[in-house]
Chains A and B, each alone.
Chain A
């Protein structure tokens, strides 16, 4: 059990101007689950790309030894041939092909040039049983949720006789139930002798599943630790190079009068006729208060927020919204912004930013009118405003002319927040504001949220991470199957209590 399957020695990889990896060593033992932790930009993904041949031999310095033999991969096919399979964070399935077709994509089960569908589907069914996915192999992938698609990816890896399975943030987009299933599956694969390398930001997961943990920081190996007796704080201190004293900045809210009240808000699905997504929700937000909205994936959190935000999502919406005690109508996003509501999306790359444009044009995008006189934009004022945000929000970029697509997740999120702060809203709805960003940047985002509350704004934070809501919010609503099932002040809130409320009435809702 203790021989090593993989040894990466002194891996150094440089991009023009940046040393992404410097002298990194990684040793993975056969049959273990090995976690790699590190902040965004620490070099985790780069290391895995070196390993899987995305960066071919010669593109980096150092050696890779797999099963005792040195490897010089010239591409992904090479590494897959040796039994190293990587599953990326963004799943790479063809949505309109069937599960079986996806599993054998590039590895078609053919006889004399023609695909043997019986063999394909039968083999796929066998693989699906192994990963515990009860679906027909001929089902189109587009009909599956993210969790099931993840399982299809693993089935695909198994079809390639995988020996070393690499998963990049496998549970980032999964709800707790799917995550638990996936982690169990990985334990099962370990018992079958498959070695796993898992990259994850979720440290509790890492501790529950990994045998050993390697921590990277700034492109260097900091340490490899046995998970026996390891704590989250210890990993974090390795990742950030400093001790974790406070994950959340201390904050005392001064709560003022009511700013926004949502009454009997109901939303139906725009695609599935008659399906109720939000069921008579009631919410109150007050000046200077940070309010949390907790709910499992699919509970209707984003649907609730986006439907309020100028009916940007949903069909057949009913209910009333009161701003400062007066009922308001928001039929479009523009009207919502004009009423002082801001909504920062959970998916900043897809819905939040124009990734091919620079920082200043993204910052100004939602309030261009403020920079314009009779339809003409003042470029210089725009620069000044954006540069002000770059400094005050500590956006790490050489200038506001930097393209947002090249910033790290944390800095992108700061650009999104700048955009909404520039609209000068009274109410900010922040949907998963710290998703996929590293610990240090999270702290900065929390500080910004607190500062916004101190300025008298009402903030609604939607999050999947209960510790985050507990550490940040003055009051937490729970949403379950489209219904508000609870409203808990911070002092009375516990993870267990919230989780009970978040799962309450699930059966009734379905």
Chain B
């Protein structure tokens, strides 16, 4: 037999002889790594539901968890992109404070109409992001240093704007966005033993679930057409069903309380938009490429500096959004606002499966990570645990989540 590979003549031609085995074994470790975070979340919810005697999932409490954590979740969306690109942003807490201050000065002191004021505040956030992005991407200073400096700089700017006092109150529209609920546009409907619930909220929930199911189904059909691996129909339906039950449960509880919080609507759009952006857009793919191997991305023609720059601009804008929401919720811009938010956002991203080296992570993961922290906070305060215990548990969870990730990676590596 000659050394020539038997298929040499078929190179660069379709090769019918090649093993066409697409049925990559459903590696248990891979699945565990990807879905571990959701299982953990479910476990934590169940645990605290039992510990609080069901108070955790009471209508008003679910609403509280969403509203109280909304700004951290918004920050986590931006943070996961920064971390995927291989960087970090320590300044987001200070940007939250600074943009809250700007919004307050514009709306309260200068009487700028609130839509314009929000727009200007977002622009301010973008400018801050551009400032940091410039130093990181084009000047080449590690983001850790740039944003550590930013943490001090923007806190200082906040104090310069506000002096040592708060500014408020905010216009009603802004307060409604942060704290308010959709109106019962269609009136109430009886849900038997559960009592009355808002029909509009329920319809939104049903539409959301239906939309989710349809897009997933179409995506699955598309993959099938291209001969790709998909979940079996049973698994697929089961996944959709679980998602539908969870979403509808939350919606029903909210509808029984005070309808949908506006921040939930905002958050839903942000999560959806950024998930699609990160997974499906060229820009999103380039974020992963830059974080996975900077040099390889550069040599593949990715404009890496521009990618990094825009990621920080985006982080600035989302920080400004969080700043407005937070200030509106307190009905006051405060110089100490947003203190340590960066740590919560970073923790959310890492609990949600981001890798320290970059290149790995998902928006939905970061949101789940943020919710895990939120549920721990909320659940422990419901059972009356002192704050040092809450801190203790959150620290342990962060460490455990990353340790689990490292462990599964090492196991996957050893099985080479």
Contact = CB atoms under 8 A, between A and B. Distances in A.
Contacts of B20: 391
Contact of A17 (B2, B8, B415): B415
5 contacts: A312-B299, A391-B20, A392-B10, A398-B24, A455-B12
Contacts of B18: 390-391, 394
Given A356-B360, A376-B280, A380-B222, A343 B299 contact: yes
- Main secondary structure on B side of the interface with A: loop
Given A312-B298, A447-B11, A243 B415 contact: no
B228 A451 contact: no
Given A368-B286, A391-B20, A399-B229, 19 more contacts: A243-B3, A246-B2, A309-B299, A332-B301, A337-B301, A350-B293, A350-B296, A351-B293, A356-B292, A357-B359, A361-B289, A372-B281, A379-B223, A393-B11, A394-B11, A398-B22, A398-B23, A439-B3, A444-B5
A377 B22 contact: no
Interface in A394-429: 394, 396, 398-399, 401-402, 406, 419
Contact size range, B: 35 or more
B11 A392 contact: yes
Contact of B223 (A242, A356, A380): A380
In order of increasing CB-CB distance, the 8 nearest A-B pairs are A354-B292, A366-B300, A398-B24, A334-B301, A451-B12, A16-B415, A365-B300, A242-B1
A354 B304 CA distance: 14
B416 interface: yes
Contacts of B11: 392-394, 444, 447-448, 451
Interface string B296-332: 1111111100000000000000000000000000000
A354 B289 contact: yes
Nearest to A445: B11
Contacts of B225: 380
A361 B295 contact: no
A443 B8 contact: yes
A280 interface: no
Interface in B16-42: 18-25
Given A357-B292, A394-B18, A399-B24, A333 B3 contact: no
Contacts of A312: 298-299
Contact of B301 (A333, A383, A391, A447): A333
Given A365-B297, A377-B281, A332 B302 contact: no
Interface in A232-251: 236, 240, 242-247, 249
Interface residues of A, number: 67
B392 interface: no
A448 B282 contact: no
Contacts of B301: 310, 332-334, 336-337, 366
B242 interface: no
A361 B283 CA distance: 13
Contacts of A309: 299
A51 B280 CA distance: 47
A352 B296 contact: yes
A390 B15 CA distance: 9
A11 B94 CA distance: 60
B194 interface: no
A448 B12 contact: yes
B310 to A, nearest CB: 13
B23 A380 contact: no
A97 interface: no
B165 interface: no
Contacts of B8: 249, 443-444, 447
Contacts of B173: none
A20 to B, nearest CB: 9
Given A246-B2, A333-B298, A448-B11, A383 B228 contact: yes
Interface of A: 15-17, 236, 240, 242-247, 249, 309-310, 312, 332-334, 336-337, 343, 345, 350-357, 361, 364-366, 368-369, 372, 375-377, 379-380, 383-384, 387-388, 390-394, 396, 398-399, 401-402, 406, 419, 439-440, 443-444, 447-448, 451-452, 455
Contacts of A379: 223, 280
B24 A394 contact: no
Nearest to A309: B299
B14 interface: yes
B223 A355 contact: no
A302 to B, nearest CB: 12
Given A354-B296, A401-B24, A393 B12 contact: yes
Contacts of B283: 375
B288 interface: yes
Contacts of B10: 392, 394
B250 to A, nearest CB: 29
B175 to A, nearest CB: 36
B57 to A, nearest CB: 36
A440 B5 contact: yes
Given A352-B296, A354-B296, A377-B280, A245 B3 contact: yes
A447 B13 CA distance: 12
Contacts of B360: 356
A379 B19 CA distance: 23
Nearest to B11: A447
B240 to A, nearest CB: 19
B4 interface: yes
A333 B295 CA distance: 12
Contacts of B302: 365
B4 A246 contact: yes
Contacts of A439: 3
A333 B300 contact: yes
Query: Which of A332, A345, A380 is the most central at the interface, judged by chain B CB atoms within 10 Å of its CB?
Result: A380
B226 interface: yes
B285 interface: yes
